[in-house]
Amino acid sequence: MKEELEGQFQKIIEKARKLADEQSKQPGSSQSESEQQQLRKEFESLLQTLVKPAETLSKEDIKRLKEAAFGPQTFWVTETQTISEAERTGLLIRGNLRDERAKVYEHISAKVRELFGDKYELLMVEDAAAEAAQGVGSSSSA
């Protein structure tokens, strides 16, 4: 998506330069007014793409995920936090790993696919700060 946005910005910049050059040569041209309107529409569309709020996980999806994928035998959830970045939104789920990382990842990943198909992507990240504070491998984020 980043490359797509950069490409759109470059097209708009090139059109604006071309339009400015044409206006300096022949002010008041109706063709340049038409091009200005088109450029304005493209720019507004790009701005809408940039400022549109990122989709967040619904409360129902979070509840289903916590009930079906996590538990005392795999990953005990202690905290959930919505996170937003420029290109995507997600849910940080912190907790205690209750089995081998690979087994837990496979279990949770299978449940996510079963419940939501390709709607969500699962990333498992070790929480180094928690490990240092609590000992080896006792905390992780999914």
pLDDT at 17 over 80: no
| 101 C-beta neighbours (distance < 10 Å), count | 13
> In the predicted model, what is the mean pLDDT of residues 89-102?
89
Determine the pLDDT at residue 121.
Answer: 85
CA distances from 74 to 3, 35, 58 (A): 38, 59, 23
pLDDT at 80 over 80: yes
> In the predicted model, what is the mean pLDDT of residues 4-14?
77
Percentage, residues of the chain above pLDDT 90: 21
| 84 C-beta neighbours (distance < 10 Å), count | 12
Give the E-state strand segments of 30-117 in sequence order: 75-84, 89-97
Per-residue model confidence as pLDDT tens digits over 32-49: 677 777 777 887 777 666
Quickly tell me which residue has 């967040």 as its tokens: 56
CA distances from 5 to 8, 36, 115 (A): 5, 20, 32
Determine the pLDDT at residue 34.
Answer: 78
Tokens of 98: 């209750």
Determine the pLDDT at residue 30.
Answer: 59
Determine the pLDDT at residue 133.
Answer: 58
